[in-house]
A and B are shown apart, each in its own frame.
Chain A
Amino acid sequence: MNAVFILWLRQLKRYSRSRARMIGMLGQPILFLLALGFGLGPTFARAGHGNYVQFLAPGIVTMGILFTAVFSGVEIIWDRQFGFLKETLVAPVSRPEVVLGRTLGGATVALIQGGIILLVCLAVGFRPAHPLLLPVALLFMALIAILCSAIGTAIGSVLQDMQGFQLIMNFITLPLFFFSSALFPVSDLPEAVRLAVRLDPLSYGVDGLRGVLSGGFVFGAATDFEVLGGLAVVMLAIGTHLFSKIELKVDPAHQEDR
């Protein structure tokens, strides 16, 4: 367990020391919050859905967690390319422990980023419907963070270089975000989009967080909790499997001996 802890701590140290990364990962969600929240607000209100910032804030918090957590998976690629991963590969520590430490570290960093975004939302006028339920909101945020971090670990384990990562980031994280109902209400959607929302695991995170913070569940708190928890465990298992497998073929090329 000490190994899990020290690898978790490493992720946190790296995060706290890189101010640029911290601010960079906050920029996009906050831009979405301000531009969309205030830009589409009047239209949203005229359509009879109420205050858009109130609706949007949980989605933006989820977005921040998603991006930060998946990006923490990138670190596996960096670590592999620039050396540190080898140190963990030859250490007498089982692969599941390494994966758990990294994934929980990435999740914790994402949770902190999500918390900062929630504070920014409060600053621009978002008001939680039930302030007493804030701990439940944090629980949902933690589940989203673990799930997304595990997705990042799985992706980072499979990819060999950063070019590939960008591609998959754009084909996985952005669709996950856009179809998660973070930006729009599920009611009155065309059937195909409604199906996409139902299939998107992140929808259950957005729904849980929105239900707790703004009121109004679509799937129900219990369903959200079960789906997120279940998928987090499944993704952790997949991430562990992929991570363990990739390591044995450290040499992709035939002549690696220089």
Chain B
Amino acid sequence: MTTAIIEAHDLVKRFGSFTAVDHVSFAVPEGVIFGFLGPNGAGKTTTIKMLTTVLTPSDGQLVIAGHDPVKEPLLVRRAFGIVFQDPSLDDELTAAENMELHGVLYGVKRAQRLERVEGLLHFVGLWERRDDYVKCFSGGMKRRLEIARALQHRPRILFLDEPTIGLDPQTRNQIWELIRELCRDERLTVFFTTHYMEEAERVADRIAIIDHGRIVAQGDIAALRQQTGGSTLEDAFLALTGCSIREAGAEPIDCMRAMRQARGSRR
């Protein structure tokens, strides 16, 4: 048994009287691709935010790459790279400038940075487009750039929050191939969330299913199928979480995004 690089014990997050994450425990061994599944509003993103130091847990313990994200956020941040659910690039900068900014923020030395940026941009097929503004990029190109960026400081853990949403199958496969290569060659640990059950089934080594803030099942996929008697992971998922459709509230950010899109389409 390899040692765990991500450990959560009785993790809790409350927002007022609402408990978004309710006594969640799991461990992710190093070099593993870990899928974190759940319906809308189950607590996936809240969990990722706590793991990545941007949200403070209400209760419970976390150890990420040997450090406590609450007490030593800077050490934890150095150890992981993240691709968020929504883009987090600066649209007004070029691809290369976004990479440079990241490298400087993470203290990557100049010579090393130039070498890695070239390698990574080739890796994700964006080297030719390095001097183009990110605002001209398609969704898939942005996603690939974000993955390249997240890997620039050689993290031990890569967090991917819905990494392939809205991507075509070609891009999706290409991205997973890249990631699997890294897990194999560099012992990178990947923690990802997804809605696509067949995607989790194909790429994940281990999974956990969260619903209403609680882990309802975890382990490898064959064990889960056996546990629920389903033939696919989707069957298992539905057996565990039920068939009702979840509602997630619209945040101000959704309204902003909608407004921005409306404005953009008028132009």
Closest Cβ neighbor of A2 among chain B residues: B104
**Residue among B40, B84, B107, B256 making CB contact with A162, cutoff 8 Å:** B256
5 closest pairs, A vs B, by CB?
Answer: A83-B88, A91-B105, A6-B104, A92-B77, A257-B45
Q: Which residues on the A side are within 8 Å of B252 (C-beta)? A: 160-161, 252
Q: Which residues on the A side are within 8 Å of B154 (C-beta)? A: none
Q: Is B172 an interface residue (CB 8 A)?
A: no
CB distance from B246 to the nearest CB of A (A): 8
Given A253-B249, A256-B45, A257-B44, A81 contacting B105 (CB threshold 8 A)? no
Residues of A within 8 A of B (CB): 2-3, 5-7, 10, 13-14, 17-18, 81-94, 160-162, 247-258
Closest Cβ neighbor of A95 among chain B residues: B73
Q: Is B198 an interface residue (CB 8 A)?
A: no
Given A13-B93, A252-B252, A253-B251, A86 contacting B88 (CB threshold 8 A)? yes
CA distance A94 to B80 in the complex (A): 16
Q: A3-B105, A6-B101, A86-B84 are in contact. List 9 more A-B contacts (CB 8 A).
A: A17-B92, A82-B87, A83-B88, A86-B88, A91-B77, A161-B256, A251-B46, A254-B18, A257-B45
CB distance from A14 to the nearest CB of B (A): 5
CB distance from A226 to the nearest CB of B (A): 35
CB distance from A108 to the nearest CB of B (A): 17
Chain B 246-267: CB-based contact to A (< 8 A → 1; otherwise 0): 0111111101110010000000
CA distance A94 to B53 in the complex (A): 12
CA distance A164 to B247 in the complex (A): 27
Q: Is B199 an interface residue (CB 8 A)?
A: no
Q: List 28 A-B contacts (CB under 8 A).
A: A6-B101, A13-B92, A13-B93, A81-B256, A81-B257, A82-B256, A82-B260, A84-B88, A84-B89, A87-B90, A89-B54, A90-B77, A90-B80, A91-B77, A92-B78, A92-B107, A160-B252, A161-B255, A161-B256, A249-B55, A250-B55, A252-B251, A252-B252, A254-B18, A255-B20, A257-B41, A257-B45, A257-B248
Q: Which residues on the B side are within 8 Å of A2 (C-beta)? A: 104, 107
Contact B46 A10 (CB under 8 A): no
CA distance A147 to B91 in the complex (A): 28
Contact B55 A251 (CB under 8 A): yes
Contact B93 A258 (CB under 8 A): no
Q: Is B23 an interface residue (CB 8 A)?
A: no
Within 8 A of A (CB), among B34-48: 40-46
Q: Which residues on the A side are within 8 Å of B77 (C-beta)? A: 90-92
Residues of B within 8 A of A (CB): 15-16, 18, 20, 40-46, 49, 52-56, 74-75, 77-78, 80, 82, 84-93, 97, 100-102, 104-107, 247-253, 255-257, 260
Q: Which residues on the A side are within 8 Å of B102 (C-beta)? A: 87, 91
Contact A254 B88 (CB under 8 A): no
Which of A2, A86, A88 counts the most B-chain CB atoms under 10 A from its CB? A86
CA distance A89 to B84 in the complex (A): 12
Q: Which residues on the B side are within 8 Å of A18 (C-beta)? A: 92
Contact B74 A6 (CB under 8 A): no
Closest Cβ neighbor of B15 among chain A residues: A254
Given A89-B54, A90-B53, A248-B54, A257 contacting B20 (CB threshold 8 A)? yes
CA distance A83 to B74 in the complex (A): 20
Contact A10 B55 (CB under 8 A): no
Closest Cβ neighbor of A13 among chain B residues: B93
CB distance from A97 to the nearest CB of B (A): 9
Q: Which residues on the B side are within 8 Å of A90 (C-beta)? A: 52-54, 77, 80, 82
Contact A91 B106 (CB under 8 A): yes
Q: Which residues on the A side are within 8 Å of B43 (C-beta)? A: 257
Contact B88 A10 (CB under 8 A): no
Closest Cβ neighbor of B103 among chain A residues: A6
Given A90-B54, A258-B40, A83 contacting B87 (CB threshold 8 A)? yes
Q: Which residues on the B side are within 8 Å of A87 (C-beta)? A: 88-90, 101-102, 105
Q: Which residues on the A side are within 8 Å of B105 (C-beta)? A: 3, 6, 87-88, 91-93
Given A2-B107, A255-B20, A257-B45, A94 contacting B74 (CB threshold 8 A)? yes
Closest Cβ neighbor of A80 among chain B residues: B253
Q: Which residues on the A side are within 8 Å of B80 (C-beta)? A: 90
CA distance A160 to B253 in the complex (A): 9
CA distance A250 to B89 in the complex (A): 17
CB distance from B258 to the nearest CB of A (A): 11
Q: Which residues on the B side are within 8 Å of A86 (C-beta)? A: 54, 84, 88
CA distance A92 to B102 in the complex (A): 10
CA distance A13 to B90 in the complex (A): 11
CB distance from B15 to the nearest CB of A (A): 5
Contact A10 B251 (CB under 8 A): no
Contact A254 B54 (CB under 8 A): no
CB distance from B263 to the nearest CB of A (A): 12
